[in-house]
Every structure is written in C-alpha cells, then in structure tokens.
A and B are shown apart, each in its own frame.
Chain A
Amino acid sequence: MRAENYEARNHPPSNEFEINFGPNHPGIEGNYALKVKVHGDEIVAARADGGYLHRGFEKLMEQRLWIQNIALVPRICVPDPAPMEVAYSMAVEQLCGLEVPQRAQWLRVLLLELSRLAAHLFTFGGHAATTGMYTPMFWGVADRDLLLDLFEELTGGRVYSIYNIPGGVRRDIPDDFLTRLSDTLDYIDSRLPDYDNLLFTNQVFVRRARDAGPVSQAQALDWGVTGPNLRATGLAFDVRRDDPYLVYDELEFDIPTEQPGDAWARTLVRRGELLQSIRILRQVIDRLPDIGGPIRAPIPNPLAWNVPAGEAYVRIESSKGELSWYVVSDGGDKPYRVHIRGPSSMHAVQVLEHLVTGCRIEDVAQIMFSLDACPPEVDR
C-alpha cells in the first residue's frame, strides 16, 4: 500500500465487526464464503457468498451433444459425482423411452452406494477436522482411498467415473471385483468401532456437536432441507424408498433417523447410512452374479442422436440429499434446457445463514460440514 493512499478513518466500534469467512479459509468447505457480522465471538448476522465456482453448467450443457454431456455432469458435485451421471442418464432414458437392462441397474446401484460410502467417509473426516480432531480426518481420507481404488478398477477413474451412459453402463465388472469389494466392505465394517471411539462417542466431539445448528422438523420442511439433514430431524424420508428408482425396491435397507436435528444428529444419521450402504452393497454382491444379460441398451449413433422432444424430471437420493434433474429436449442433438436442483443450494445458502446466526464463530465451520453442503453444486 502506498503511503499517500492511506487515509486514517474513524472505524465503527470494534466490538462488532464484519469478517470474511472464506473463500480461502481452512474451515470452509471448498471455495465458498460466508460474510459474518460478529459481536465478540457471537455471530449476529451472516450472508452466504457463493459464485466462486460458477461455471454455467446449465448453459454449457445446451451447447454439447447429449453424449458429450456425460463427461461434463459429474463435475457438478466433486465429492459425490456418481449420482449426477446416473440422474442425467435416467433423464435421457426417460426422454427416449429406453429400457435399461437389469444388470446395468444393479451396477448403477453398486456405483451409487460406493459413492455414498466414499462421500460420507470424507464428510466425517472434514467434520472431525473442524472440531480440532485430525486423526479421523486422516483415517477417513485413507479409508475413502480404498473405495477410490475400487472405483478405479471398475470405471478407470478415481474420482470422476463417467461410468454411466444413457442406456446402461460402460463396462461390466472385472474378474473377482466382487470379492475385493467384499473385502473392502469387511475392512470398513471392522473400522467402525475405531471410528466410534475416536469420533462418534468421543466426548470432545459430542459436546461440540450437540446443540450446534439445530433445525426443527417444521423448519426443515419449510426450508427445503432433504437427505440426511432432514432425517436428522426425525422424518424418515428417503427417495430410494419413497419413490424407488433403479432396483432399490428389491433391496432391503432401513432409513436411519435421529431426533434433535443438530450437528450431532446429522452425523449420527450419516453413520447409520454408512452401515445401510454396506448392507445394500452386500446384497448387490449376493445378487449380481445371478443377473445376466447385457449391460447396455442399444442407442443410436451418439454423434447424431436426436432425442425425442419432451421433458423429463428425475429425482434420486445423493449422499447430500434429494437431487433432481429437469431436462427438456426440442428434438435436437443437444438439450434445449437443463435445470439441476441440487440439495446443497438449499443447505449452504438459506439454512446455513439461519443456523450460524446466533452461534459462536468457532462453530461456523462445524455447522457447514455437518450440513455436508457441496459448494460446486451450489454454484454449478
């Protein structure tokens, strides 16, 4: 700063001031910002400041072929990319009236639940780190890496799998993949007592997380909260069960719910979902070898593929909440209009603003991570 540019000013009383929480901040999840006004260390007002990750997906998709968009859509939500491509593929299938072979549907469930496991492990790690406990973060990331190895084996990509295409999936499982998957699930199962000791029943964590950012059930329904955050308020709503897609109606799983709706309850719901995902994956391991048939329905030449005019609305349950896609085709080779209703845009903007107001500044990061919002999906 040049000396001649500096001008002393009368600042407002310094007991109350506004600070930037993010975008470049170790406590914020991704490239996202909160502008908060603090009084002492209590937050009196907050405003979410997104847009740092805006890429204009909905516009970009209008300029690319239906098949090219497959490579684009997983980038919308980085920690949990699989639901995006599944939802987009399902929307295109709905427009074309394509019947997806049974085996492809089971493989999609496999991918979705693996992705959910990986996303939840990552969230536990992040949430623990915001309360000052770094060991669960190291463990969560390391265990997630085992799942990423499975992704790599199955799809060729560690994070962005690009495994689904409209009509089915790109390739079948490798030899002995299910055995390795089963071993990995056993390992993660065996790690849970350690996680319980370290995180879920650890008083350091419990006392911090309990009563942090409470949401009542009525508020949650008003604000459009979905997914684990809604189930933490006691409402057992899960798109997988209430509006089944793929083969979820053939699978047995419970919907974990918790009562108070605070950060602690949200974490416990995710822990329950981790177990349910493992349970679903075990059923997939049992059933998949008996399901034969193709993995892909025949589609026309993808480079000159005119999808029939119409509109499709698809909703599925991602690890963050209810994810919906609205796709309109005018009969051309590119989408006419695409809209994505991501769960995080509700969680990270309106809900977060409400929840951090009145809490203390050290709980902001924790509340954000407990909502499991995904900034790239907020901004799109």
Chain B
Amino acid sequence: MTDTEQFPVRVEQPDRNGGNIFSRVFDELTAFCRSRSLFILHYCTGCGAIELPPAMTSRFDMERLGISPMVSPRQADILLITGYVSVKTLKRVMLTYEQMGSPKYVIGICSCTVNGGMYWQSYATAKKLNDYMPVDLYIAGCMPRPEAVITGLRQLMDKIAAGEANGWEDYYRRYDYYLGHQQRLFGETWQTPTDVIAEARHYGLFGPETLGDHTRLLEQHQAPLEALEMQLGLGAPDEVKA
C-alpha cells in the first residue's frame, strides 16, 4: 500500500457552494476576518525594502488596512520578498517560509522576483521565486511605488476574502516540484528542519505529487538533525566567568 492510497487525497478545491450552510458561513467569516488582520514579515532580501518604510509609515499608512509588520515568522501571515534573492538568502527564505504557520501568503515584490529582473544574468541570484515556493501575488516594478505595494496588498486581501489565496496548499500538494528546484540550486543534500511531508498529511493536503524523485533523494540524504552548533571559528566557550 503506497502512501497515496493510505492518506486521503484532496487535490481539487473544496466546493464553496456545497456542504453545510453553517460551515460555509463560518468559512466565509473566517476568510473575511483573516483578510482584515494581516501581519507582514518582510524579509529585506533586496532593494524593494526601501519602499516599505514609506508604505508603512505616516504617508501611505498600511496600518489603516489592518496590515502591520511582525518581527517573528511564527506569528506572521504574509512573507514579503522584497527584491532579488541571492542563493544564500533564498536558503534563509525557505527556512523562514517553512517556519510560518498556515495559512500563509507570499508576495513577491520587484521584477527580480518575477524573472530575475535586472540581474537576469547574475551568477548569484535565484531568478523565479515561484519555482521555490508558491507565490500568491507579484508586484512588478523596479521598484514598485508605495501605492503599488498598497494596491497589491488590497488585492491580496480580496483574494483571501474570496478564498483564492491558497498558494500555501500548493506547497504541500506539489512539494516534490518545489523541492526539486531547491535541490537544483542548493545541491542534493539540501534539507530543512521542517517535515513538510508530515505537515501535508496533517493538513489533509497530501497528494500524488507530494512525493516523488526529489523527496526520495531527500530521504537518502536526510541526516539526523543535530542540535544547532554554529561554527564561527570563535573558539570553544570560555571558562565560566566569576
């Protein structure tokens, strides 16, 4: 018996007009409330971060939409990728993304996240963000103005309220696809502390494309996680100071 048979597969979108009327109303209310209270984790991956302070502060004031910055990925709803992602940054972005609790939304700001933008030929940057994680909304521009950022966020709010911003489900359903791209960039031994496959089962999002060649490769290389020990070359811990 394969894993696919053992666990229910839910590939298609749930029918929003069917089912119990109470649960439907409850779902819609939840989606509405979710869309009105969003916490942004903005990872300043690149240039676009400079247009976020104006968008957040007095002049354009994101907070009137119920959107406010959040410092910790565990409590954030939106991951804002502000600009080009170098390979080194993308590893951290992946770790951050997998730490965030579902439902989570990803916005790619700046042309560089769409197709590499200005750095299309750079050896150091990842070109298309949606190869590595599902992106709910792109805001193109180099860099997009604060008005464009606010408009993009409003569109995301509408999508959330309509129940269409389901990119995070896609990460579980097609984990193999995203993992394949990550392995191509980071090497075969790439792994994160998060057990995405177990989470996919937990959310009932385990699908036929969750597992594949790349997850098999991951299992081969998955070493037992070790307690975090940084190797800064700063020497062994000193003697306890009196």
Binding site for B on A (CB under 8 A): 1-2, 4-7, 9, 11-13, 15-18, 20, 23-26, 30-31, 35, 37, 39, 44-45, 47, 51-56, 59-60, 63, 71-72, 75, 78-79, 122, 125, 137-138, 141-142, 144-145, 148, 158-160, 376, 379
In the complex, the answer to whether A7 meets B47 with C-beta atoms within 8 Å is no
Q: Which of B9-17, B151-159, B175-183, B193-201 contacts A (4 or more CB under 8 A)?
A: B193-201
Contact indicator per residue, chain B 201-242, by CB within 8 Å of chain A (1) or not (0): 000000000000000000000101111001011111110110
Choice from B44, B45, B58 contacting A138 with Cβ under 8 Å: B58
**Is B54 part of the binding interface, using a Cβ–Cβ cutoff of 8 Å?**
yes
In the complex, the answer to whether B92 meets A55 with C-beta atoms within 8 Å is no
25 contacts between A and B (CB under 8 A): A6-B225, A7-B224, A16-B237, A20-B230, A24-B41, A26-B69, A26-B71, A35-B234, A39-B241, A45-B235, A51-B86, A52-B86, A53-B86, A55-B86, A56-B122, A56-B124, A60-B119, A60-B121, A63-B121, A78-B47, A142-B54, A142-B59, A145-B59, A160-B47, A160-B142
Q: Which residue of B lies closest to A42 (CB)?
A: B241
The residues of B that contact A35 with a CB separation of less than 8 Å are 230, 232, 234
Choice from A2, A26, A51 contacting B88 with Cβ under 8 Å: A51
The residues of B that contact A24 with a CB separation of less than 8 Å are 41, 43, 73, 92, 96
The residues of B that contact A45 with a CB separation of less than 8 Å are 232, 234-235
The residues of B that contact A1 with a CB separation of less than 8 Å are 193-195, 225
Tell me the bound Cα distance from A66 to B171 in angstroms.
42
In the complex, the answer to whether A53 meets B46 with C-beta atoms within 8 Å is yes
How many A-B contacts at CB < 8 Å in the complex? 134
CB distance from B111 to the nearest CB of A (A): 12
The residues of B that contact A23 with a CB separation of less than 8 Å are 43, 89, 92
In the complex, the answer to whether A52 meets B88 with C-beta atoms within 8 Å is yes
**Is B20 part of the binding interface, using a Cβ–Cβ cutoff of 8 Å?**
no
In the complex, the answer to whether B89 meets A31 with C-beta atoms within 8 Å is yes
Tell me the bound Cα distance from A154 to B164 in angstroms.
41
Q: Which residue of B lies closest to A138 (CB)?
A: B57
The residues of A that contact B54 with a CB separation of less than 8 Å are 141-142, 144-145, 148
Choice from B51, B224, B237 contacting A12 with Cβ under 8 Å: B237
A71 in contact with B118 given A6-B225, A24-B73 (CB within 8 Å): yes
Q: Which residue of A lies closest to B236 (CB)?
A: A12
The residues of B that contact A26 with a CB separation of less than 8 Å are 69, 71
Tell me the bound Cα distance from A247 to B54 in angstroms.
33
The residues of A that contact B222 with a CB separation of less than 8 Å are 5
In the complex, the answer to whether B198 meets A39 with C-beta atoms within 8 Å is no
Tell me the bound Cα distance from A122 to B58 in angstroms.
14
In the complex, the answer to whether B73 meets A18 with C-beta atoms within 8 Å is no
Q: How many residues of B contact A (CB 8 A)?
A: 52
Q: Which of A4, A17, A20, A24 has the most CB of B within 10 A?
A: A24
In the complex, the answer to whether A376 meets B123 with C-beta atoms within 8 Å is no
CB distance from A353 to the nearest CB of B (A): 11
Tell me the bound Cα distance from A358 to B122 in angstroms.
39
The residues of B that contact A44 with a CB separation of less than 8 Å are 238
Choice from B44, B50, B57 contacting A137 with Cβ under 8 Å: B57
Tell me the bound Cα distance from A12 to B226 in angstroms.
14
In the complex, the answer to whether A55 meets B124 with C-beta atoms within 8 Å is yes
The residues of A that contact B69 with a CB separation of less than 8 Å are 26
In the complex, the answer to whether A2 meets B195 with C-beta atoms within 8 Å is yes
CB distance from B150 to the nearest CB of A (A): 14
CB distance from B239 to the nearest CB of A (A): 9
A60 in contact with B122 given A11-B227, A31-B43, A39-B238 (CB within 8 Å): yes
Q: Which of A2, A12, A71 has the most CB of B within 10 A?
A: A2
Q: Which residue of B lies closest to A10 (CB)?
A: B227
Tell me the bound Cα distance from A125 to B121 in angstroms.
35
In the complex, the answer to whether B89 meets A13 with C-beta atoms within 8 Å is no
In the complex, the answer to whether B58 meets A13 with C-beta atoms within 8 Å is no
The residues of B that contact A12 with a CB separation of less than 8 Å are 236-237
**Is B145 part of the binding interface, using a Cβ–Cβ cutoff of 8 Å?**
yes
Contact indicator per residue, chain B 7-48, by CB within 8 Å of chain A (1) or not (0): 000000000000000000000000000000000010111110
Choice from B41, B225, B240 contacting A15 with Cβ under 8 Å: B240
Tell me the bound Cα distance from A227 to B176 in angstroms.
50
**Is B84 part of the binding interface, using a Cβ–Cβ cutoff of 8 Å?**
yes
The residues of A that contact B230 with a CB separation of less than 8 Å are 18, 20, 35
Tell me the bound Cα distance from A285 to B124 in angstroms.
43
In the complex, the answer to whether A141 meets B57 with C-beta atoms within 8 Å is yes
Tell me the bound Cα distance from A71 to B120 in angstroms.
14
Q: Which residue of B lies closest to A46 (CB)?
A: B234
**Is B49 part of the binding interface, using a Cβ–Cβ cutoff of 8 Å?**
yes
CB distance from A224 to the nearest CB of B (A): 23
CB distance from A28 to the nearest CB of B (A): 9
CB distance from B22 to the nearest CB of A (A): 37
Tell me the bound Cα distance from A52 to B121 in angstroms.
17
What 19 new A-B contacts, CB under 8 Å, besides A23-B89, A160-B142?
A: A1-B195, A12-B236, A13-B237, A15-B241, A18-B230, A18-B232, A18-B234, A24-B92, A30-B49, A31-B43, A37-B234, A47-B234, A52-B92, A54-B124, A56-B124, A63-B121, A137-B57, A159-B47, A159-B51
Tell me the bound Cα distance from A125 to B145 in angstroms.
20
**Is B68 part of the binding interface, using a Cβ–Cβ cutoff of 8 Å?**
no
Tell me the bound Cα distance from A35 to B145 in angstroms.
33
A31 in contact with B46 given A15-B240, A45-B234, A51-B86 (CB within 8 Å): yes
Q: Which residue of A lies closest to B194 (CB)?
A: A1
A16 in contact with B238 given A31-B44, A60-B121, A145-B59 (CB within 8 Å): yes
**Is B125 part of the binding interface, using a Cβ–Cβ cutoff of 8 Å?**
yes
